[in-house]
Amino acid sequence: MTSFARYRVFRLFPLLVVGFYILVAFYGARFDSRPEIFPFFNWSLFSSSSGDRNEYALLVRSVDGQPLAKPQLFYDMKDTFLHARQRDINVSKVTQELGSALHQNKPQLAYEKRRMIEDRFMADAHEVEYDLVMLHFDPIERLQTGKIQDERVVASYRKAYD
């Protein structure tokens, strides 16, 4: 191929790479059970803000057979869980994915997410009783006053190794 003929092919590179990426990032996930096909991603990160927020969270009720005086959110239990101390964002991501899988009636996916929470994020305790709760709040108001407008238990679980 002559040098110029090669350039005529190469000049299409920007169009092809951008077009191919858009196609797979937007439509590829429809042909796979996962929300994205690595290394493609639609780059929707922190895209929406609202004063009327619904978020899933983990509310721990007991650890190693000892009921807590008051149920606590996972991230507040820094003395118990390493991933709470590390403020690991993956705990929140997987929690949202667990809630979403239950909402969409995908039991297998929900089971995988639950296993991940219990085996990885709650690895510091042998036995944990906890709820997956849906919190409804205004973020600024909750940050300043602690007020949660509504709290609903979506599912209750128990992690235990026999």
Partner 1 sequence: MTKLIDRVFRQTRHVLESVHPSRDPIFSRIGSQLLRAQSLVRFYYLASMFIAYLMMPDVHTLVGESQTWSFLWPVRWLPMFGDWAIEWVVVGAFVAAGLSFQFPTVRTFRVLFALFFLGAVGIENSQGTMDHSYHAWVWLGICFVFLPDLDRKAPRRAGKMAYLSVIAGTQALVLLFYSFAGFWKFFWGLGPLLQGIEGNFAPRGLAQQLANRILETGTVPLLGHFVITNYWLSYPMFLVLIYMQLVALFVALRPRLHLIWGYGLIVFHMGTWLLMEIYFPVHVLLLGLLFVMSPFRPERWTIREVLCDLPIFGFFIRKLWRTPDAATAFDERAYAAR
Which residue(s) pair with 59 in the sheet? 73, 131
53 vs 61 by CB, closer to partner 1 = 53
For residue 155, the minimal CB distance to partner 1 (Å) is 18
Interface residues with partner 1 (CB under 8 A)? 2-4, 6-7, 9-18, 21-22, 25, 36-39, 41-53, 55, 75-76, 78, 84, 87-94, 112-113, 115-116, 119-120, 123, 137-140, 142-143
Output the CA angle 46-49-52, nearest 5 degrees: 135
Measured between alpha carbons, how far is 157 from 26 in angstroms, rounded to an integer?
34
Cβ at position 130, least distance to partner 1 in Å: 17
Q: Give the residue among 45, 132, 61, 149 at the shortest CA–CA distance from 97.
A: 132
Nearest approach in angstroms of CB 107 to partner 1 is: 16
